[in-house]
Structure 1
Amino acid sequence: MKSIFKRLTPKLDHNKAFVFILISTAAIWFVLQLSKTYTTQLQLNYSIINLPKEYKIEKEQKLSTYITSTGLNLLYLNLFNPQINIDYSKFTKSIDFISLDEAVLNNLISTQLEVGKDQVEVNHNLKLRFYQLFSKQMKVIPILNLTFQPGFDTIQDIQYSPSKVTVYGKRNILSSIDSVFTKPIIHKNIDDSISSQIELNLEALEFDQVNTFVIEYNIFVDRFTEKTITLPVEVINLPLDTSISIYPKQVEVSFEIPLSKYDKVSAKNFKLVCDYDKAKVSDSYLIPKIVKSPKFIKYQRLRTKQISYLIKE
């Protein structure tokens, strides 16, 4: 066994030496190649600094340029793709475009990449279309999908904030839009008040910016019960020289009311009238109408739909 190992050992040493020489040769060749000079085309990213806030570049493009430099430097540029910063003041402005000529581009690239001007070749202008941003306040419309446990309901309109948002974009697009919708507000079997947030639905809206993407909302909920009270009938717009007698003189109204408000509501919180001007000459009745009632009650119903009257001679 030892004799076999001794015969294999020289071969193993020989293989290791061969691999070492191969790797060393490849490394030396690679270093030599990186030290040579090449010319290659690069697509450079850029950023426009000090651009006025109300301006928006419609479609940016990359800077195409030829760079002559060592392989090592070109490898670095390809790997890290440094960004070229261009100050807005250097552009030439027209109605719809801003542009930069080849000479200015050449100088910017050579300075920021730290290569000679003769090592940079730009054979095109940089021409960008821009537009001005306009702002418009738009009403927020919530999309509601709510169901309540039996006996429960909202005690006031849903409160949401902000009720308006500021949207920024092209004037011709904003002029045709007056409101934005929320994503669906979905709550099932509600039996208590809710405070939460919902995102605006902006998928179909062509905009550039909006001052908020989320609104807060509050749903105030209470248990409701039925209540009935009796209201006096008041006749309005009765001519001064006319006297009438009405029947009935009082009308019952029933409605749904939050339990927390049950004892706080009475006839003084309502006003029921009959407008004499709206009575038909051929009819001998008036139509009662509630013109004042608490905002938090629901489903109010008059037990009497007509008030009979008789003109006194």
Structure 2
Amino acid sequence: MAIIKLSATERRRASVFITCLLLAIAAWIMVKLSNTYNYNVKAVLTYRNAPQRRAFHALQSDTVSITQKATGWQIISSKLKRDNRTLRIDLKRLEYDSHVVLSSQLPTINANRAADNKIIAFSPDTLYFDFMHRSVRRVPVQLVKSIQYQQQFGQSGNIVLKPAYITITGPTNRINKITAWRTDSLVMTDVSEKISARINLVSSTEGNVAIYPKVVEVKVPVEEFTEKTVLLPVKLVGNLDFYNVKIFPQRVKVTFTTSLSSFADVDVPLFEAQADLHLWRAYNYTSLPVKVTRLPAFCKVVSIEPRNVDFIIKK
């Protein structure tokens, strides 16, 4: 392949030409980016001043297209930052009407936006709503949690939520399906002392459903745990034919964990251990496994000795 050899003068001229070309392109780009354009972006609607006497349901998507006037530089900056993509719409008009005209709220909406980021139009410009009976209901708060404790520490009592119930208002056919309202996730690690926190409730995803209050207090009792051992009598169950059955041994040693404050109070009457004779009748078991079927809250069984008991049936 032929190689074009340029003289020093020709190389200088080529270099000057390429430099001028690049400068011209850069100047053209600068001019284009400095010009003003109309451009469209999607925005998600949120609502304020919802009507108190009427439950409503939007008849269109909660996303609209907004038209803005900006320079090329501002358009690029907006696309990179993806900011101002949420619009708060005033629904006070719905107290007496069934639609809201977005353009009528432009002065208020633009008052909270930067001067170089004003909205000039919406698509669609009118939002339509359906109305139904509005109801009020109290539902329990459901705590969402992920708590990891230090070794030998754990939850030692019931979790307390204040308030334990919240009030929800909205369309009757919608809120009648709600049985509980979840909190944001309470995530904690390496816990060794009681937890006291304020946590937000999950926000309603529907503009016509409101909750009160929106924050609850959470208290989780946490204590150090230790092991304790008791001898429990084994209760025989599943003896449907009322055989005369003897089990050996009649007591088993159960080791469990309990909080230090409950150590003295947790004793034999709070537990129950069982062996099921049905396992012999149905599956020919020659020994019966022992299960602890009742124990105090927040106690955990560590071991049962022996795990199985022998039995003799006298017919």
Deviation, structure 1 residue 297: 1.2
Query: What residue number does 1:298 align with?
Result: 300
Residue identity matched to 2:54: Y
Change (3 A) 1:248 1:56: closer
**Larger deviation: 231-240 or 286-295?**
231-240
Structure 1 residue 308 corresponds to structure 2 residue 310 = yes
Which sections of structure 2, spanning at least 5 residues, go unmatched?
1-49, 59-91, 100-127
Change (3 A) 1:180 1:161: same
Which sections of structure 1, spanning at least 5 residues, go unmatched?
1-50, 60-84, 99-126
Deviation, structure 1 residue 251: 0.9
Preserved CA contact (<8 Å) 2:255 2:303: yes
Between the aligned partners of 1:52 and 1:185, the Cα distance in structure 2 is 33
Query: What residue number does 1:197 align with?
Result: 198
Residue identity matched to 1:54: R
Q: SS in structure 1 opposite 2:275? A: strand
Report the aligned-residue RMSD: 3.3
TM-score, normalised by the number of residues in structure 2: 0.55
Residue identity matched to 2:269: K
Between the aligned partners of 2:150 and 2:226, the Cα distance in structure 1 is 13
Between the aligned partners of 1:299 and 1:206, the Cα distance in structure 2 is 48
Deviation, structure 1 residue 274: 2.1
Preserved CA contact (<8 Å) 2:279 2:285: no
Q: SS in structure 2 opposite 1:188? A: strand
Between the aligned partners of 1:261 and 1:197, the Cα distance in structure 2 is 28
Residue-by-residue CA offset, 1:185-212 (whole Å, 9 max, x unaligned): 1222211112222110115354442221
Aligned residue pair count: 203
Residue-by-residue CA offset, 1:262-313 (whole Å, 9 max, x unaligned): 2222223212122334543522322322232211312443233322111124
Between the aligned partners of 2:233 and 2:307, the Cα distance in structure 1 is 14
Preserved CA contact (<8 Å) 2:153 2:224: yes
Between the aligned partners of 2:272 and 2:130, the Cα distance in structure 1 is 64
Change (3 A) 1:159 1:207: farther
Preserved CA contact (<8 Å) 1:180 1:202: no
Identity over aligned residues, as a percent?
Answer: 22
Query: What residue number does 1:134 align with?
Result: 135
Between the aligned partners of 2:157 and 2:129, the Cα distance in structure 1 is 52
TM-score, normalised by the number of residues in structure 1: 0.55
Query: What residue number does 1:143 align with?
Result: 144
Asked which structure has the greater CA Rg, the reply is 1
Q: SS in structure 2 opposite 1:183? A: strand
Residue identity matched to 1:55: R
Preserved CA contact (<8 Å) 2:253 2:304: yes
Between the aligned partners of 1:244 and 1:217, the Cα distance in structure 2 is 51
Q: Map 1:1-313 to 2 at 5 A.
A: 53-56=52-55, 130-238=131-239, 242-281=243-282, 282-313=284-315
Deviation, structure 1 residue 224: 0.7
Query: What residue number does 1:62 align with?
Result: none
Between the aligned partners of 1:301 and 1:201, the Cα distance in structure 2 is 41
Residue identity matched to 1:231: L
Deviation, structure 1 residue 167: 1.1
Change (3 A) 1:213 1:248: same
Change (3 A) 1:161 1:201: same
Q: SS in structure 2 opposite 1:143? A: strand
Change (3 A) 1:229 1:54: same
